[in-house]
Amino acid sequence: MKLAVSQALFDHANVRMDLLRQRAFNLRWASVEDGVIPLTAADPDYPCAPEIADAIARYAADRYLSYAPAEGLLFFREAMAEYYFTRKGVTLKASGVMACDSAAYGIMVVCKALLTPGDEAIVFNPVDFLFKHCVESCQATPVSWDMPLSPSGTPDFDQLKSLITDKTRLICLCNPLNPTGKVFTEHELKQLAAIAEEYNLIILSDEIWSDIVFEPTRYVSIASLPEAAMRTVVVTGFSKSYGLAGLRAGAILSVNEKLIEKMLDASDQRSTVSGCNVLAQVAATAALNDAQYWLSEFIQHLHDMRSFTIQALNALPGITCEMPQGCYVAFADISNTGLSSEALCEKWLKEAKVSVVPGSPRWFGSRAQGNIRISFATSGVILYEAFERIKLCMNK
């Protein structure tokens, strides 16, 4: 029965433009002028799995919306631990899971727990701006480690070693890597783990994209490696895989429960100043337990959208783009257009009414310049219309 339902889940007819224009903020439909197609923030244009909405409605129908434990509701933590054990090979107990207000806040909590003023943290370049922001918010210094711009490229681990000083406390790993779509191999993760052990560093592993991986690429969580497990803190969430950005549901996980205790202290959740709301945990539990068919169909849809997007980009003059191994964003090299990232994005917005994200230091770091990022978590109809407009714009 679920299979029959899922086959139609990602038809264009299920994209509710009326609701997106009212509710989809953060550079998306509700934030742009009428007529603009936003291929910007990485957030699906589709409604979430019906089981998630049903679970929220059932819980709310009882009309008791009381405080949750600071560490999170037990059923959520158990579901998270089971999911990471069965899907990622991480031997985890519920006591090694802490609910938090989004993966973004989870990164901030880890930085607050492990960094003091004057400390240093290794941050990828390019990578999502949140890592640098969170490190600097703790009055620590982000130290840039160059990442390959190609999804199949290999990081320079000798460079990593050269960046480590007696002030380094943390290595920030983003896997899969936003914006390039690289998925780290087990061999690369073992090299990273060996360096972290040699210099006694903690690894912050942002795994919010870890379910969005395209065959034949295989995802490995660094927390599943015995040599890394006790010094790794995983941060994840439910916005990318299940379309739950507005619920702000996230989790911090570690095999090392002493690290989880540090995270709880840093989060201020025991004081009720912060915390993951109850309905978000209910929704996330339903996603883990009841919406895997939806996620599987979503990934298949994304596989098709990825192929279309990369073909369309490579057909444009002066633009090249490789297939991402993970994430539903394309990171295209536009350096041969003769325009900067910002200038090309401005041209597309004004002349084609299509909004994409420039590879500027503000968003991804200095190495992103000369690239743009495009989200393809939408329908084929919307992508086709967007690229028809872009093609006309570029052929003028």
pLDDT at 157: 98
Q: What is the pLDDT of residues 345-371, one digit of tens each?
A: 999 999 999 999 999 999 999 999 999
pLDDT at 396: 78
pLDDT at 8: 81
Of all residues in the chain, what percent carry a pLDDT higher than 90? 96
Q: What is the pLDDT of residues 82-114, one digit of tens each?
A: 999 999 999 999 999 999 999 999 999 999 999
pLDDT at 4: 35
pLDDT at 141: 98
* Annotated domain spans of the chain: 2-48+292-394, 63-290
Q: What is the pLDDT of residues 29-43, one digit of tens each?
A: 999 999 999 999 889
- What residue type is 47 in one-letter code? P
Tell me how far apart the alpha carbons of residues 300 and 3 are, in angstroms, rounded to a whole number.
13
CATH number of the domain located at residue range(s) 63-290 in this protein: 3.40.640.10
pLDDT at 5: 38
* Residue 123: count of CB within 10 angstroms of its CB: 26
pLDDT at 6: 41
pLDDT at position 162 over 50:
yes
pLDDT at position 139 over 90:
yes
Q: Which CATH superfamily is domain 2-48+292-394 in?
A: Aspartate Aminotransferase, domain 1 (3.90.1150.10)
Of all residues in the chain, what percent carry a pLDDT higher than 70? 98
